[in-house]
Amino acid sequence: MDRRNALASAFAALAGAFAAHTVSSARAEDSGGGRAVPKAVYHLSDIDKVAFVLSNMRNHIEGMGGADKVQLALVVHGPPLKAFRADTTNATFKSDLAGIKSAGAEFYACIHTMEGMKLTLADLVPGFVVADKGGVVKLAQLQGQGYAYLRP
User: Which DSSP string do the residues of 20-60 spell out, in sequence order?
Assistant: HHHHHHHHHHB-SSSSBPPEEEEEE--GGGHHHHHHHHHHH
Count of domains forming the chain: 2
Q: Tell me, yes or no, whether 24 and 48 share the same domain.
A: no
My answer on whether 17 and 87 are in the same domain is: no
Summarised one tens digit per residue, pLDDT across range 82-131 is: 999 999 888 888 888 999 999 999 999 999 999 999 999 999 999 999 99
Instruction: Looking at the structure, tell me whether residues 58 and 121 fall in a common domain.
Output: yes
Write the DSSP symbol of residue 89: -
The separation between the first and the last C-alpha atoms of the chain, rounded to the nearest angstrom, is 59
What pLDDT digit, counting tens, does each position of 9-53 carry? 444 444 444 333 333 344 334 445 567 999 999 999 999 999 999
Residues 45, 30, single domain; the answer is no
Q: For residue 84, give the CATH number of its domain.
A: 3.40.1260.10
Q: Answer yes or no: do 79 and 115 share one domain.
A: yes
